[in-house]
Homo-oligomer: A and B are copies of this chain.
Amino acid sequence: MDQTGGLFPGFIQANLVILPQEYAIDFASFCTRNPKPCPLLDITLPGRYDTFLASGADLRTDLSKYHIYKDGKLEEVVTDLTAIWRNDFVCFLFGCSHTFEPLLSSAGIPIRYQEQGLRLSLYDTNIEMLPVGQFKGTVIVSMRPIPMEKVTRAAVISARYPRMHGGPLHIGDPSLIGVDLNLPYIGDKVEFLPGDIPVFWACGVTPQHIALNAKIPYMITHAPGYMFVTDFLVEDLG
């Protein structure tokens, strides 16, 4: 399957981080203290790979691409975790801003990266999160150019869905949050049309960015853009 942005309109898409159990309480604490970038939808029990978010789900195989990291370095990209599954793995699932994009579209707000056939632009920022133990660092944001007369409605619509990151973290001048639009952290540089304003939302890549910084000996995440698609509509878990 391809990247999930723009697919399955209405259904909640989720980010995934899998950590050994010994890090689970610290990471749960970190996410609870930083809910804007890390809005928890589920925490699974150690060794379990099912989730209430989708009936019959198997988190070892249901995503189409996974990243495996050792000591904070990308070691391998795989499509199946069955052979490497461990009984101490705890899965954390987070809301994703792809979920509210169809609602922006329905409100007449263009999604520029989709119009241009590009990947969503993600940027690192200078916004520090509340640290917990070894988990600390800056917020990763997604950025969408929005026509100036539609910025307020984009803010109001997205703010209704705090578990999908909620309203924008920042609107306007990128330099105020340490962003250079020419240098995406992940994804493509998207073209602005005249009158577009950059609007920044906290991004669910943040928890994996933070876990990577912490140099956890072994961790697994979804590959950015290849989300877990749930059975739930966005209004179900608001």
- A-side residues, CB < 8 A to B, are 21, 24-26, 28-29, 32-33, 35, 40-46, 52, 90, 130, 132-133, 162-163, 166, 237-238
Residues of chain B within 8 A of A29, CB atoms compared: 42-45
Q: How far is the CB of A84 from chain B (nearest CB, A)?
A: 21
Q: How far is the CB of A31 from chain B (nearest CB, A)?
A: 9
Q: How far is the CB of A167 from chain B (nearest CB, A)?
A: 9
- C-alpha spacing A46/B28, complex, angstroms: 12
Contact A43 B52 (CB under 8 A): no
Q: How far is the CB of A91 from chain B (nearest CB, A)?
A: 10
B25, B41, B133: the one within 8 Å of A24 (CB): B25
B26, B41, B46, B238: the one within 8 Å of A32 (CB): B41
Residue among A41, A46, A162 facing the most chain B CB atoms (10 A cut-off): A162
Q: How far is the CB of A126 from chain B (nearest CB, A)?
A: 20
- Ranked nearest first, the 10 interchain pairs of A and B with the lowest CB-CB distance are A29-B43, A28-B28, A32-B40, A32-B43, A24-B25, A52-B130, A28-B43, A162-B162, A33-B52, A32-B42
Q: How far is the CB of A142 from chain B (nearest CB, A)?
A: 20
- C-alpha spacing A33/B51, complex, angstroms: 10
B26, B33, B45, B163: the one within 8 Å of A26 (CB): B45
- C-alpha spacing A56/B35, complex, angstroms: 22
Q: How far is the CB of A112 from chain B (nearest CB, A)?
A: 28
